Amino acid sequence: MKIEGNIATGYGKGAYFLGQEFYKNKFNEKCGFIPFPGTLNIIVPEEKLEYIKKLKNSSKNTIKSDEGFGGVKYIKAILENSITGAIVFPDKTTHEENYLEFIAEDNLRKKLNLKDGDKVKIQITDF
């Protein structure tokens, strides 16, 4: 399944959490990469919200809360047919449900020269 959406600026909270050793170690163990400290925020169209809810609710990929850190569900995905990463669904989030948070080992805004409003495609790989 492919999802298209537009890049948006987030709140900066992903940078803090992904910079913590707990999450670095867990994502490296489960996804095979240490994530760049920050998420790429992608706003998806309203008509994709049901599908995204199903993805989130049926995902068995989890990082359980521990050491004072909240749990995270994740789904492996590929951005723009070339960047391996994951869509993350933190237990605690301040984003609306039409925001997807994508993580990868690189700073994706810089690597792909992305700015707010740019359209991107995500291919779900493990659903």
**Binding residue numbers:** 10-15, 39, 41, 93, 101, 106-109
Binding residues for Mg(2+): 39, 41
Binding residues for CDP: 10-15, 106-109
What is the rounded distance in angstroms from the CA atom of residue 110 to the CA atom of residue 61? 28
DSSP for residue 20 = S
Beta bridge partners of 8: 41
Token pair, residue 6, equals 């537009």
Binding residues for FMN: 93, 101
- Distances in whole angstroms, Cα of residue 53 to Cα of each of 34, 76, 94, 98, 109: 26, 16, 16, 10, 26
